[in-house]
Structure 1
Amino acid sequence: METNFIETFAGDPWETEICTLSHAFAKREPLNYAVDGLFPLPCLGLVYGHPGTLKSLILADTAMHIAGGLQWLGKAVKKIPVLWVDLDNGKRRTHERFEALARGINLTEEASFYYTSMLPYNAGNSKDTDLLIKRMLSLGIKFLIIDNLGLISPGADENSDAMIAVMSNLRRVAEETGAAVVVVHHQRKSQSARAGETLRGHSSIESAVDLCLLVERDPDSNTINIKSTKSRDVEVYPFAAEFNYDHKEGTNELYRAWFDVVQVEDVSSDRAAELKIMDVVSERPLGNQKIIIEDANRALRVGKNRLRLILGSLVKKGKLKVREGARGAKLYVIE
């Protein structure tokens, strides 16, 4: 009977792919990042926002810095080959932008930066995906950017489960090449209580990715704000950048373009909430939960329910102690 089982399932991938805890405990190389704390290798990420938020430009600037091994907005990068797949801006604009961004950081032609423009790619098609993987492996690509998701899923309703196959193939690209795969996408017009729910399309899109970065920009401003709406790895704190550029003399064409880091006050991350709660308790020792939450909430954009959870977490971590007050009230103190 046992022999028949083996013969029946000869060549079954489950036989070689099932792991045990010996695999989990095996020594692994430390996790590497294309950009420190943002894009682990491998990963599948999305950068999204409304039209005009400069999301493609800021990501192109990221890619240039990675290809050159140059620090990006104060963040360390790993120098690795980059491939940009453009299906949105067209060849002339793509050439112009990359020329200007490269000139902005003095990146030369020798950099391992590759790009295509308007070369069709259907991420829902396994053959197309196999060809992309083959080309990436031949060039050693470890950072892939695709602009944009809607244009690599032709015929698929992005609000349906047809996107599952598209996202699955993109994940396969990341896993088989060891690359960070980052896709540009768009934001819904309607607002939602949770920022991640403004990501346009079927829920399988957000579910499939490791990192979502939302890019926001006020009208007529060259400053953009970036925040994470999903991260499976380390927490990503909000950051900002200012777009700068020069034109070619006598034209409206870009000559040089670059982004400068802008200091931003963090009022929405768990870290910001923890720091604020600790400040409140330090200033008002033996305060009760209501006092602490209300004081912290005035300075943050976190929400009282989340602040209560973070307050409890600080107690569990031993950063705060609880003493019993009148009528069983919980009073908080730093010891």
Structure 2
Amino acid sequence: MRRQPGVAVASVLWREGVGVVQYSGRLDAGEVRAAVTRELVVQHFNLEVRGRPGGWWRGRACPSCGKAWRDLAGSGFCIGKRGWTCKACGAKGDLLDLLARLAGLDVRRDFTRVLELGARLAGTQPHATGRDSSGESTPRDDTRESASRVWSELLPDHPRGRAYLAGRGLDVDALRARDLVRFCPFGWRPADPAGDPAGALHDQDGAVQSIARRRTTGDEPKTPGLTGHPAGGTLVGHLGQIGPGTDVVVAEGVIDTLTAALAWPHAVVLGAHGASNVAPICAAAAPRVKAAGGRLFLVPDTDAVGREAARLGLQAARKAGLRLNRELVQINLGEHADLNAAWCAGWRPPASHPPVATSTTRELQEAPMPTPTTSSPTVPKRWGGDVLAFLGEEEPAMDASHVYWCDGLVVRDEPGLFLGEPKIGKTLVVEDLALSLAAGLPAFCGRQIFGRARVLLLTREDSDRTTRARLWQLARAHQLRHRELVGWLEVDGTTGLRLDRDDDVAAFRSNLDRFDVVFIDSLSTVHAGDENAVRDMSPVMNAWRQLALETRTAIVIVHHLRKPPEGRLPEPAGRSRVLPRSRGSSIIGATARHAVFFADGPDDNQVLVRVEGNHDGMPEPFVIARRTGERDSKRWVRHEAVGDEREARMMVIATRLDPVIVEVVTRSGDAGIRMGDLRTLVRDLVPARNEVIGQRVAALIGAGRLVRADRRIRATLRSPN
């Protein structure tokens, strides 16, 4: 063990727990808990999972009870963004608890070890390390210094490491000439051989902030980094090298990054230390590539984790304004598992992707930061792509949990339309739904909610005071503390948004990575055109559709129906019975992939809900009721399910007819009354059809409140309960 004076490191060992850094400070549990993500946990333990980015991920086996599910789609072991649960044994907890169970630790007994493991995964730094701010070094300086010291102690060459890289098809001399790889003098475990190849992880300024080694034994973990150092950063190159017209290549893993450096020798290669770092690197590099007039190439692994990392990386790059297949290109490796496998099989970058920059790495590093340019890209626009890459290896799941955020009401990743007659309370329904999604409640008015969603609520139709009052009352009804909504619900009623303006659309696009669901109330607030003119509404609808589909965000817009003469919706007559009644041009209804309609319900404070769309399993028309009350002299309001439309109407009829029927029969005395006479007397008091009266009489007889004998109906002495 070598002593390293002058830094906040007691020892740096190339042993198991590579680069063990002992600090004199302490780890903050809250910071570690906030920094640990499910992506880091899944990647570290190589868990097999399935699910959508914003929803729950289903795993193979529960770490608590050990139950394993053969079919991931039906697994009860679920991992959320901030916690996990098992439907088989009922165990649940946050991500630190999951981390502990997977590592064979007890989160209470071994909390310090669990915290250290979480900090190592997330790169969280302890407090009170090093010196103060009066010109002395900071924890970040300490990690840079310690990483640089370790990097300087690595070997320039090693026969075992050289043989390993040569076996992976890499030109070791070319890599050494550019100082892209060095070799570890010790094994990661005491029994491991020396010679593991390693690469430096750079921060955006090019300083070495950590090191990632590739274990030649092939054991897990395959690419450990320096403990206590950031897991982020970039291998081979860094952001400061992006200059005018530069090609940038983003790859994943040590070997693939070294392969990319050989495949694109004149490009800036940014390697991600793990799939979870692909999207952050793309998000950081894309604005610089856009400003420099260059191109960004993404080279993902072809497994499920790699495909998901590529999707998030492409999404981050597109939010920065890079256009797919123009300034942004995803490399198709065909049947090969990763870039290195393709390289060994003879694959080389296509001729359609020639290098733009001819500068050396040193010239790029010394080049000044570019100024924004509006020059058109040189890559021609291209449509289509490999059908196998598009279809993927697994058929998309189409069960309700993969289609909807809220069953039948909010569709994932698509534009949705909420239509309603004026002044029936649809805005309050939308606010209640938004609150339920953000709080992760199990259901909304009987419709199941599939996972907790990050929600943006744009309430331009009402004042902030009105919206705040409603949200207070809704939260009180659901017994929610406002702090529980932090990070899940954001409300904005004042910031302008125009979907018919390119600058607003671009700015809005850059915000959508923070949200899963967006509610906009209403359509009239996001454009300045004539709603009846296709020419005015076409750019608005196109922007709405593209924002939802490209960013995979459910964007729901509230709109109005033209009011019918009677003021009520017509009786059901077909699937498209209501959509044509939306106010304005028909292109509005044509753009929405899913439409929900609100109308007056059969009784006071009730709303009838009908759904039209293209998805399976859409609900039949149903009725919800608005309930109000007081708690501690404070008003609360919420919505509850009443039943389907027919049940709700029958409940109203029963409420009105049953007392009248019982009263008429009771007045007839012991002699009773014939059905025909009963119908006549009831119709004189309450307008109702004979068929409906007969149904209610039968129901009252079944309930024991009336009896039929000798063709006459009599009242019973039994309590109605």
Partner residue of 1:168? 542
1:259 is aligned, of 620, 626, 639, to 639
| Paired residues of 2:601 and 2:623 also in contact (CA < 8 A) | no
Does residue 212 (structure 1) correspond to residue 595 (structure 2)? The answer is yes
Change (3 A) 1:114 1:236: same
Deviation at 1:86, TM superposition (A): 1.1
Partner residue of 2:582? 199
Does residue 13 (structure 1) correspond to residue 381 (structure 2)? The answer is yes
What letter corresponds to residue 614 of structure 2 in structure 1? R
What letter corresponds to residue 382 of structure 2 in structure 1? W
* C-alpha distance in structure 1 between counterparts of 2:645 and 2:601, whole Å: 17
Partner residue of 1:179? 553
Deviation at 1:239, TM superposition (A): 1.6
Tell me the SS of whatever aligns to 1:262. Answer: strand
| Paired residues of 1:64 and 1:107 also in contact (CA < 8 A) | no
Deviation at 1:247, TM superposition (A): 6.1
Name which one, 1 or 2, has greater alpha-carbon Rg: 2
Does residue 226 (structure 1) correspond to residue 609 (structure 2)? The answer is yes
Tell me the SS of whatever aligns to 1:84. Answer: strand
Partner residue of 1:76? 448
* C-alpha distance in structure 2 between counterparts of 1:223 and 1:22, whole Å: 48
Q: For structure 1, which segment, 63-72 or 22-31, has the greater mean C-alpha deviation from structure 2 after superposition?
A: 22-31
Change (3 A) 1:233 1:266: farther
Change (3 A) 1:237 1:219: closer
Identical-pair percentage = 24
Deviation at 1:160, TM superposition (A): 0.8
Partner residue of 1:64? 435
What letter corresponds to residue 444 of structure 2 in structure 1? W
Deviation at 1:27, TM superposition (A): 2.3
Partner residue of 1:158? 531
Partner residue of 1:293? none
Within-5 A mapping of 1:126-141: 126-137=502-513, 140-141=514-515
| Paired residues of 1:88 and 1:118 also in contact (CA < 8 A) | no
Partner residue of 1:236? 619
Deviation at 1:28, TM superposition (A): 5.0
* C-alpha distance in structure 1 between counterparts of 2:602 and 2:494, whole Å: 29
Tell me the SS of whatever aligns to 2:506. Answer: helix
- After superposition, the CA RMSD in angstroms is 3.1
Q: Deviations over 1:240-286 (max 9, x none)?
A: 11001236988xxx73110111012459xxxxxxxxxxxxxxxxxxx
Within-5 A mapping of 1:289-300: none
What letter corresponds to residue 185 of structure 1 in structure 2? H
Tell me the SS of whatever aligns to 2:406. Answer: coil
TM-score by length of 2: 0.33
* C-alpha distance in structure 1 between counterparts of 2:543 and 2:637, whole Å: 34
Deviation at 1:76, TM superposition (A): 1.7
| Paired residues of 1:210 and 1:231 also in contact (CA < 8 A) | yes
Gaps of 5+ in 1: 268-297, 300-335
2:477 is aligned, of 77, 89, 104, to 104
* C-alpha distance in structure 2 between counterparts of 1:19 and 1:226, whole Å: 42
What letter corresponds to residue 173 of structure 1 in structure 2? L
Deviation at 1:26, TM superposition (A): 4.1
Tell me the SS of whatever aligns to 1:134. Answer: helix
| Paired residues of 2:418 and 2:556 also in contact (CA < 8 A) | yes
Change (3 A) 1:52 1:218: farther
Q: Deviations over 1:175-205 (max 9, x none)?
A: 2332211111001124688321111110110
Tell me the SS of whatever aligns to 2:405. Answer: coil
Does residue 146 (structure 1) correspond to residue 487 (structure 2)? The answer is no
* C-alpha distance in structure 1 between counterparts of 2:644 and 2:407, whole Å: 18
What letter corresponds to residue 73 of structure 1 in structure 2? C
* C-alpha distance in structure 2 between counterparts of 1:38 and 1:92, whole Å: 27
| Paired residues of 1:214 and 1:226 also in contact (CA < 8 A) | yes
Change (3 A) 1:198 1:246: same
Q: For structure 1, which segment, 67-76 or 199-208, has the greater mean C-alpha deviation from structure 2 after superposition?
A: 67-76
Change (3 A) 1:37 1:218: closer
| Paired residues of 1:133 and 1:176 also in contact (CA < 8 A) | no
Deviation at 1:10, TM superposition (A): 5.3
2:461 is aligned, of 71, 88, 91, to 88
1:24 is aligned, of 391, 400, 416, to 391
| Paired residues of 1:239 and 1:262 also in contact (CA < 8 A) | yes
Tell me the SS of whatever aligns to 1:123. Answer: coil
* C-alpha distance in structure 2 between counterparts of 1:181 and 1:265, whole Å: 27
Gaps of 5+ in 2: 1-351, 355-376, 648-690, 693-721
Change (3 A) 1:257 1:197: same
* C-alpha distance in structure 2 between counterparts of 1:211 and 1:75, whole Å: 16
Q: Deviations over 1:226-248 (max 9, x none)?
A: 001x3021233212110012369
Does residue 51 (structure 1) correspond to residue 425 (structure 2)? The answer is no
| Paired residues of 1:237 and 1:266 also in contact (CA < 8 A) | no
Partner residue of 1:35? 406
Q: Deviations over 1:97-124 (max 9, x none)?
A: 1111111112222211110012211111
Equivalent pairs, count: 258
What letter corresponds to residue 116 of structure 1 in structure 2? D
Deviation at 1:40, TM superposition (A): 2.3
Partner residue of 1:116? 492
* C-alpha distance in structure 2 between counterparts of 1:61 and 1:69, whole Å: 12
* C-alpha distance in structure 2 between counterparts of 1:128 and 1:86, whole Å: 17
Tell me the SS of whatever aligns to 2:628. Answer: strand
* C-alpha distance in structure 2 between counterparts of 1:150 and 1:265, whole Å: 30
TM-score by length of 1: 0.69
Partner residue of 2:629? 246
* C-alpha distance in structure 1 between counterparts of 2:539 and 2:456, whole Å: 22
Q: Deviations over 1:137-164 (max 9, x none)?
A: 1xx210100000011112x100011111
Change (3 A) 1:22 1:116: closer
Q: For structure 1, which segment, 141-150 or 183-192, has the greater mean C-alpha deviation from structure 2 after superposition?
A: 183-192
What letter corresponds to residue 391 of structure 2 in structure 1? A
| Paired residues of 1:44 and 1:170 also in contact (CA < 8 A) | yes
Deviation at 1:64, TM superposition (A): 0.8
Partner residue of 1:315? none
Deviation at 1:171, TM superposition (A): 1.5
What letter corresponds to residue 233 of structure 1 in structure 2? H
* C-alpha distance in structure 2 between counterparts of 1:152 and 1:28, whole Å: 37
1:125 is aligned, of 501, 504, 507, to 501
Give the structure, 1 or 2, with the largest relative contact order (CA under 8 Å, sep 6 or more): 1
* C-alpha distance in structure 2 between counterparts of 1:69 and 1:201, whole Å: 35
* C-alpha distance in structure 2 between counterparts of 1:133 and 1:99, whole Å: 29
